[in-house]
Structure 1
Amino acid sequence: MEDTTKRHFFYHGNTEDETPGITEEKSNCHWCQIRAFPTHKQYPITIVNDADQATLPSNFRFLYHSVLGDGVEAAEDSFRSGCDCADDEDCQYGHCLCLQEQEEVAENGNGLDDADGGRKKVYRYHMHGHKAGLLRSKFLDSRQPIYECHDGCACSEACPNRVVERGRKVPLQIFRTKKTGWGVRCPVDIKKGQFVDKYIGEIITPREAQRRRDEAEVAARKDVYMFALDKFTDENSPDTRLRGDPLEVDGEFMSGPTRFINHSCDPNLRTFARVGDHADKHIHDIAMFAIRDIPRGEELTFDYVSGVHQDEDDGKDQSKKQHMSKCLCGSKNCRGYLW
Structure 2
Amino acid sequence: MKCACYRKTLNQALLNHDPLVVEKQKNRCTLSYIMKSIGYERKRLLNPVSSGIYECNSKCSCHHQHCTNRLVQQGLFAQLQLFKDKDKGWGLRTLHDLPRGTFICQYVGELITSDQGHERAQTMDDKYQTSLDLVKQIHYDVNNDEDDDDDDEPYVIDGSLYSNLGKYFNHSCNPNMYIQNVFIESHDLHFPNLALFTRTRVKAGE
TM-score bracket, normalised by the shorter chain, equals 0.7 to 0.9
State how 1:16-165 maps to structure 2 within 5 Å. Answer: 89-91=1-3, 96-97=7-8, 99-105=10-16, 109=22, 111=24, 114=30, 120-121=35-36, 123-126=38-41, 132-136=42-46, 139-140=47-48, 143-157=50-64, 158-165=66-73
Residue 142 of structure 2 is aligned to residue 231 of structure 1: no
Q: Using the alignment, how far apart are the partners of 1:90 and 1:125 within structure 2?
A: 12
* Map of 2:99 onto structure 1: 191
TM-score, normalisation: structure 1? 0.49
Q: What is the aligned partner in structure 2 of residue 34 from structure 1?
A: none
DSSP 3-state at the match of 1:232: helix
The equivalent residue for 1:245 is: 153
Change (3 A) 1:123 1:201: same
Q: How far is the alpha carbon of 1:95 from its aligned partner?
A: 7.6
Aligned mates of 1:102, 1:135 — CA distance in 2: 15
Partners in 1 of 2:98 and 2:16 — Cα distance?
29
Q: 1:177 aligns with which of 73, 85, 97?
A: 85
Cα-to-partner distance string for 1:305-335 (whole Å, 9 max, x where unaligned): xxxxxxxxxxxxxxxxxxxxxxxxxxxxxxx
Show CA shifts across 1:280-306 (max 9, x none). 3211111111011111111xxxxxxxx
Are 2:132 and 2:157, in contact at CA under 8 Å, matched by a contact in 1? Answer: yes
Instruction: Kindly indicate which of the two structures has a greater share of residues assigned to strand.
Output: 2
Paired with 2:31 and 2:184, the residues of 1 have a C-alpha distance of 25
Preserved CA contact (<8 Å) 2:6 2:69: no
Judge conservation of contact 1:99–1:147 (CA < 8 Å) in 2. no
153-162 vs 192-201, which deviates more? Answer: 153-162
Change in Cα spacing, 1:166 to 1:198, as seen in structure 2 (3 Å) is: same
Larger relative CO (CA 8 A, sep 6+): 1 or 2? 2
- State the AA in 2 paired with 1:185: R
Structure 1 residue 215 displacement after superposition: 2.3
- What is the alpha-carbon root mean square deviation over aligned residues? 3.0
Measured after TM superposition, the shift of residue 100 of structure 1 is 3.3
CA shift in 2, pair 1:271/1:103, >3 Å: same
1:146-184 superposed Cα distances (whole Å, 9 cap, x missing partner): 232222222222321212122221122110113100100
What is the total number of aligned residue pairs between the two structures? 189
Check if 1:207 corresponds to 2:109.
no
Match of 1:44 in 2: none
SS in 2 for 1:210: helix
SS at match of 1:262: coil
Contact 2:51 2:134 in 1 (8 A): no
Deviation at 1:262, TM superposition (A): 0.5
CA distance 1:160–1:167, shift in 2 (3 Å): same
Q: Secondary structure at the match of 2:203?
A: coil
2:189 aligns to what?
Answer: 281
Q: Secondary structure at the match of 2:196?
A: strand
Letter in structure 2 aligned against 1:109: V
Structure 1 CA distance for aligned equivalents of residues 174 and 6 of structure 2? 38
Measure how far apart 1:214 and its partner are: 2.0
CA positional deviation for 1:115: 8.5
SS at structure 2 position matched to 1:215: coil
Q: 1:200 to 1:252 in 2, by over 3 A?
A: same
Instruction: Check whether the contact 2:76–2:105 (CA below 8 A) recurs between aligned residues.
Output: yes
- 2:12 counterpart SS class: helix
Deviations 1:102-158 (A, max 9, x none): 343468725476598x794364221xxxxx11112xx24x64422322222222223
User: What letter corresponds to residue 213 of structure 1 in structure 2?
Assistant: A
CA–CA separation in structure 2 for the residues paired with 1:149 and 1:212: 35
Measure the CA separation in 2 of the matches of 1:95 and 1:167: 19
**CA distance in 1 between partners of 2:100 and 2:58 (Å):** 27
What per-residue deviation string (whole Å, max 9, x for no partner) do you get for residues 204-261 of structure 1? 1222212111223xxxxx23100000111359xxxxxx95111100001110001111
